[in-house]
Amino acid sequence: MVSQLLFGDVFEIIETVSDNWIHIRNSYDGYEGYIDPKQQININEAEYQALKEVKQSNKTVLKIDSSQGQLLLPPACSFPTNNIKLNGFSANLDSVSLSAFEETAFSEIGSLAMSFLNAPYLWGGKTPFGVDCSGFTQSVFKMCGISLKRDASQQAKQGETLNFLEECRVGDLAFFDNSEGHIIHVGILLEDQKIIHASGKVRIDTIDHHGIYNETLQKYTHQLRLLKRLKN
């Protein structure tokens, strides 16, 4: 698994590979992969254009009633409007707490990141039920109304570069590289030289100009490469 589609994501079908697999491109971040065609609702071009711009996102796990029964949805799903009517599927979300993508206060990013604390690591995961490092940052930033690309190396190309940790504030991103200089990890900076990131699980560690120091292991686990700010 390279990534996940969450409820409300729309995508373009690039190729039908077989009866069991279709090659798709997620409209939210441009990421490509393969899914079982049973895990989709077909829509036309007009519906795709109307739905691909995310307007709202949920910050907590939601239970919603729909024409297909009750759905349990993880945080960071996509909702174009409060009323969804689509090819036999319908749901009214007027009673559900959603955040407008244009209005969400970035000051919430610390608490939203903390809501993933201790979530198990899952390669390609994007939810508190299993998440990888860049899936974690992408979902948390989505809940704050900011679009991030899917992989750490892609996210590192976004935003404004910062020169020193002393310049950083809560919500800035720190990126880490391997011995070959490739960016392979990302986390969200907190107060007091702390970072929250997905490594084994979503955890909080100390960070300095060398990188992430794991108190349990008594060693540095990630080498700092780059600091970025996405929200001024």
Q: Which residues are part of the catalytic machinery?
A: 133, 185, 197
Residue 113 phi/psi, 5° resolution?
A: -65, -40
Q: Scanning the structure block, which residue is given the tokens 């307007």?
A: 55
CB neighbour list of residue 22: distance below 8 Å, 6 or more residues apart: 13, 14, 15, 16, 34, 35, 36, 37, 40
Contact indicator for 42, 61 with CB cutoff of 8 Å: no
Question: What SS3 string covers 127-176?
Answer: ECCEECHHHHHHHHHHHCCCCCCCCHHHHCCCCEEECCHHHCCCCCEEEE
